[in-house]
Amino acid sequence: MRASLILTLALMAMTTACSSVKVPGPPSRATVAPAAPREADVLALGRKVADWQLARLDSFDYIRTFKHNTVDPRGWIQGALYTGLFTFADRTGDPKYAEALLAHGVEQDWQLGRRPLHADDHAISQSWLWAYGKTPDPVRIAALRTRFDAILADQPTGDLAFQDGVGEPPCQTRWCWSDALYMAPPAWFGLSRVTGDPRYAAYADREFWATTDYLLDKDQSLYFRDSRYFTRRDDQGRKIFWSRGNGWSYAGIVNVLKLLPANHPSRPRYVALFRAMSDRLVDLQKADGYWAPSLLAPEGSPPETSGTAFFTYGLAWGVNTGHLTGPRYRIAADRGWSALARAVTPDGKLTWVQQVGYAPEQVEPDDTQLYGVGAFLLAASEVARKPH
């Protein structure tokens, strides 16, 4: 009787504690495959997250929660949000998302970030290319063409070694960090596609593989974030592969494949890389559906939604397009989506997003960021789509 009473009181205490949590907590570690998500449910949740974010783009209270107190409207943080939003706009056909994108382009005069060579300041141009695809007004890609033509006329040739302690390392005139493979190559391939000029695609293809040959760990099929991590190890002697850093690269590969012609000579190499990364990522997914901030260090790791969203997006895209066959890829994508859905609050805030950084760090329950929402919308767009 006494033992039963103690157990009852303990369960009541646990219930009371859980009811006071305002954001999603660490999920259960169920290992069974979740039920396949319903298209309507996925899109409804995507709308809720998108609407929550768009309503707070200019909110001081929201911006104040970031480590970085300002968000450059032409920088990579907003650029990453809008890549997810235009994908979701196409998936849903909802005009309010397209209108938000077009309004942002007009407000920014279709310009790019201030650093001519830096990949982060090319990311926003992916949205300008999307807008050009809707209405081929040359004004929408004029600044982009000017920027990329100048790069082609005087191409950077420095090495890819990252210099620690330098504000903007010289290597960043090229794509010397894994994030850059998301920010820049789709813009180069996209510009080549809409203009018919093969020079842009040739440049992107060459630079993509220079970066990959340099940063990809061939044994793990994962990217080091940059050259500083070639020799760094965690406290158990394991290599450090940052989840979001690999998420940027993995989603970047997907976005390149979406633009690359079927007969492009490098396409088989991109597909092979995508499949190799997919196999490794499926193996590294935790039982709760998330991927750890440090991919080889799952023990005790918190939920983290930005890397998880990019991986879920890529896996779902691979299944939907037939690049990935077999049930384990769909199961992994569904688990990833289930984990992401648990990280959304009732009002639509995406939580557990690691803040701006360049390595695995602590993640807090209330953390969110624009790029996390962009990745979430990419995932929603593909998880809701049927294979063909």
Q: What residues are annotated to the active site?
A: 179
CA gap 26, 106 in Å, rounded: 41
- Helices (H) and strands (E) in the chain — how many of each? 15, 2
Phi, psi of 35 (to 5 degrees): -65, 145
Taking the C-alpha atoms of residue 360 and residue 295, their distance in angstroms, rounded to an integer, is 9
Residues 6+ apart with CB under 8 A from 127: 79, 82, 83, 86, 101, 104, 105
Ranges of beta strands (E only) in 184-337 are 216-217, 222-223
Question: Measured between alpha carbons, how far is 378 from 117 in angstroms, rounded to an integer?
Answer: 26
**Cα dihedral 68/348/301/176 (nearest 10):** -50
Query: CA dist 196 to 101, 124, 140, 256, 290, Å?
Result: 25, 21, 16, 16, 40
Question: Which candidate, 276, 272, 381, places its Cα nearest to that of 37?
Answer: 381
Of 371, 154, 81, residue with least CA distance to 245: 371
